[in-house]
Every structure is written in C-alpha cells, then in structure tokens.
Structure 1
C-alpha cells in the first residue's frame, strides 16, 4: 500500500494553552457562578494507569493467554494490561498496533473479526504522551470485546494505520486525525473528514481555543464562549 501524506491540516498550528487548576472538578474548570452547564458538582475519576493483577476474571485471562501464544512479540508489544469497569484494555507500543490487531483477528482462539471504532483522547497535563488512540474490537465468534490503547506525543503523533487489517478503520482513522491530529501512517487517503481542508488545528485537543462567534438576538447579543466563561 502506498503511503499518502495527510493533507488539509497544519500540525504546528498554534493553540492557546488553558489555565491550570481545577483539574478533576466540574466540566470545564469553571469557578464561581459562571457554570450554566449543570456539571459544576461533577468529580471526575482519574484514569487507571497501573497493571491489573492476575487473575483478571471472566474470560479475560483466556484472551490474554491466547494472544501471548499467538503473537511472539507479546512481551515487547504490551506496555500494561488493565481491567477496569468490567473492560479489558491492552496498552500497546504504538509501532506494534497493526501487528497485534493482525493476531487478534486471525488467530483461531481469538477471532476478533470486527473493529467497531477508532477514537482519540487528549490527556492534557498528564505525561508527555498525552494523545491516545483507542480501538474497540469485537469477536463475533466468541462474543467477546477488547479495548486497545496507544499513547503518543503531540510533537510526534504518528501511528501505523490498521486499515489493511480492518477496513472499517478507514473513516474512523480519518475522523481521529481530523479531530486530534493523530497521523495514521499507511492510511490510503488520510484527509480531513469533518472540518474544511484548510482548517488549522484539531478541535478536540484540550488546548484548542474555543473561539466562536457572537450570537445576536432581539435587543441583546450573546458573546462567544471564550468570552463568557472560564474553561479548563
């Protein structure tokens, strides 16, 4: 497959850095009485970032054991294994994601035939690898689900495309690229899918400026979001 360079976005586009503080509280770090979203009392649970001990429970041990047997580079490719909220997540070394997906799809004991989604997450303020790509796989044969996650830096946001393994990743990787700026190397046509081709920046990154335009009503004008609330 011929690698195509992504177009329609400037990876170095400037963005405003949001103020620190208030992390984990409310929806946007708002203070005082300015929160009209209804999320002012929200307390967000921090992501689990440590290995889960065996036994994992359910059929999770069977899935992990089958992958370890099917994929020779298991120990070098798996950064950690986490079971949280009844879901099994394998954190994959970014360079190995396509290889791991190949084994998960093809091995008779695994048979994760369907990639149902590819999405992005920005853990701004965590570590250097703040951008995460998340893959949800389903085994129609064994009625199992598994979650894969890769962490990369915003300065070098590259991952191998899995479109050759899962054709359903085509538009999903394009949307993740469009919103988060994650570049999927080897994608057949990595272009914007939601934003205009000449749009600068990636709207779902946490340091992307809110912007907006004022809305005029009869006898009143409502300023854009970045001028009427404090956001995190």
Structure 2
C-alpha cells in the first residue's frame, strides 16, 4: 500500500505529535479557541492515538458520526475531529471488516472528509526469523499464502547451524498460512497473522521438530478511550 499524501490547499502540516486535549470549558474568549492544524481542519479536541489501526467502536461518538457520513458519501464541516483523534495520513479506520483510508480537502473555511476502503490493507512488516538449532545446515522454502490462496511470500532459505535468517516479511492484514518446507523433512504449516496487535515471529528448526510462533498482545487504549 502506498501511503497517501494528505491533500490540502492550505498550510503544510507540521510535525506529527500528541495534541493537548481541551478541558471542554469555553467562555467565548479568543484565547479559548483551539489552534489545531489549518491543513486538516482539526482542533485540539482529542489527543492523537498513535496506532496503525483504530476500530470504529473505539472512537468518541462525534468522531463516529463523522466516519458514518464520510463512508456514506462524504462529510463536510469547519472542523474534522477525526484529524486530531488519529494521524489521518498513517492510520487505518476499521469498520465492519473493512479498512478505510482518510482524505481531507480544504474548501475555503470548510473541510471535506472522505473514507475509501483499501482492498489490500497493509501494515509495517511482521518479520519471521528462521533459527537453525540443529548441527547441520537447513535448506528449503518458506511460503506464506492468504486464505484464498494468493502467495504473499516465497523465500528460499539456506541457514548454517546455530545461525538465523529472515524467512518471511509480511505486510498484508489478515490471517495467513505459512508453510515451512525444508529438505529432508515433512512440510509444516501454521497460521500467522498481520494485525495491529501482532508482532514479529520465529521459525525454530530443531532436530525433531519445527516450531512456528508469533507474539500477540492486548492493545493499550487510545488516550481518549481510557
């Protein structure tokens, strides 16, 4: 997936970072007006959630309403609160098993939010390292396929004893089948995945077995969901 350049006709976005959260009090004075980013129309209503994917149900109600309208055909307003809740240039919005990319355009003093589904969503690579724990070199092929049979990775491996090598680097979101087919051994197939909660994995080769493992962790809540 090619990350989008955020479309804007006003000022260029500044450095991405956490934004201060408003306390909700407003006496109407000029000092209380949020500054935000003029390029996205965002206020500082929410602190940015620095994740690759945020699901619809995690967002505050007003952001969910923006998402609903954007998916249905586009949302226009003087402020786009989604733009402060996430980094719209880097984060997917997931909803009903689809992954959406956000685009924000400026039109005078108003902004338009559109969300387009990505048919082949990708995250940063999850790398699987083959570790040879035997006394001789291992050779063969490591293949990763999607649930519908598309080959994502096919890597020839040749790893010396007590050494390791990258066997696969996977970016496509989903649960996939990894087949480890080493010379002189029966092939081994295990499920591996790419998600916001998955990490790198290992293919450990022993004399009597091959173990495929991958770490998965619970997600910390977004700062506005704590």
TM superposition score category, shorter chain reference: under 0.3
Greater fraction of residues in helix: 1
Q: Which has the larger radius of gyration?
A: 2
Give the structure with the higher percent strand.
Answer: 2
Q: TM-score, normalised by structure 2?
A: 0.24
